[in-house]
């Protein structure tokens, strides 16, 4: 049976922390691939910041294109609407019944797992994989395989704030994503010149 990791999120924007998390899980669990799955509309947060779904998808594509173990999953974007993980996994299992999905979540999501839509049913369909993040407990009563990984206190909101302040993002963003953001003038960068 094929073993596929899923790393979902708004990816607004995607950053090096996402790559590290996916890579650590890929090797720790011997997965066949990890798919980055941008959501169309997250139930827990707004994408906002005048960035389109197509732009978020393009940034994920640029970030992952050099790494053969990483793929981009278009399912939630193509479906549109609010992205509930349970609904997504039910449909993906219909599409790929020979796949065991490993759903990768950070410490903040582990802490709030009990609030997820249809969590009891979802926990029977996927294997959750947790990666701790600074400032989170990373504890739940649900079955979560914990993977040891470097804890990097990096978030998309931190990246957006840095971009708006015109400060360096070298080593925090994939260079292709950084270039795309500045070319498109995203996150208030249209009047900012590079500072790194």
Query: Does 49 score more than 90 pLDDT?
Result: no
The Cα–Cα gap between 12 and 41 comes to 12
The model's confidence at residue 43, banded by pLDDT at 50, 70 and 90, is low
Spatial separation of the C-alpha atoms in residues 140 and 130, rounded to whole Å: 10
pLDDT value of residue 134 = 67
Q: What is the mean pLDDT of the chain?
A: 90
Between CA 106 and CA 101 the distance in angstroms is 16
Beta-sheet strand order (sheet of 99-106)? 70-72, 33-38, 2-9, 99-106, 127-131, 144-146
**CATH homologous superfamily of domain 2-152?**
HUPs (3.40.50.620)
Tell whether the model's pLDDT for residue 190 goes beyond 60: yes
For 135-176, the pLDDT digits (tens) are: 666 778 899 999 988 888 889 999 999 998 889 899 999 999
Confidence of residue 196 (pLDDT cuts 50, 70, 90): very low
When pLDDT is cut at 50, 70 and 90, the band that residue 123 belongs to is very high
Flag whether pLDDT at 44 surpasses 80. no
Q: Which of 120, 11, 118 is nearest to 62 (CA)?
A: 11
- Terminal CA-CA length for the chain: 45
- Could you identify the residue written with the tokens 């219909």? 94
């Amino acid at each position: 049976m094929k073993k596929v990791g899923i790393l979902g999120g708004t990816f607004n924007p995607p950053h090096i922390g996402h790559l590290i998390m996916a890579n650590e899980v890929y090797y720790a669990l011997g997965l066949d691939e990890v798919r980055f799955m941008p959501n169309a509309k997250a139930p827990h947060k707004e994408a906002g910041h005048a960035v389109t779904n197509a732009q978020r998808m393009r940034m994920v594509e640029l970030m992952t294109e050099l790494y053969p173990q990483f793929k981009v999953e278009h399912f939630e974007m193509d479906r549109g609407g609010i992205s509930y993980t349970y609904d997504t996994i039910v449909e993906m299992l219909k599409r790929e019944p020979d796949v065991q999905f490993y759903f990768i979540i950070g410490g903040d999501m582990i802490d709030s797992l009990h609030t997820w839509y249809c969590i009891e049913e979802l926990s029977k369909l996927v294997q959750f994989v947790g990666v701790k993040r600074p400032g989170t407990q990373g504890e739940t009563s649900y079955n979560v395989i914990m993977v040891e990984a470097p804890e990097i206190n990096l978030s998309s909101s931190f990246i957006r704030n840095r971009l708006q302040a015109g400060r360096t993002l070298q080593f925090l963003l994939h260079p292709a994503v950084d270039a795309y953001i500045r070319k498109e003038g995203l996150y208030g960068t249209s009047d900012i010149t590079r500072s790194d």
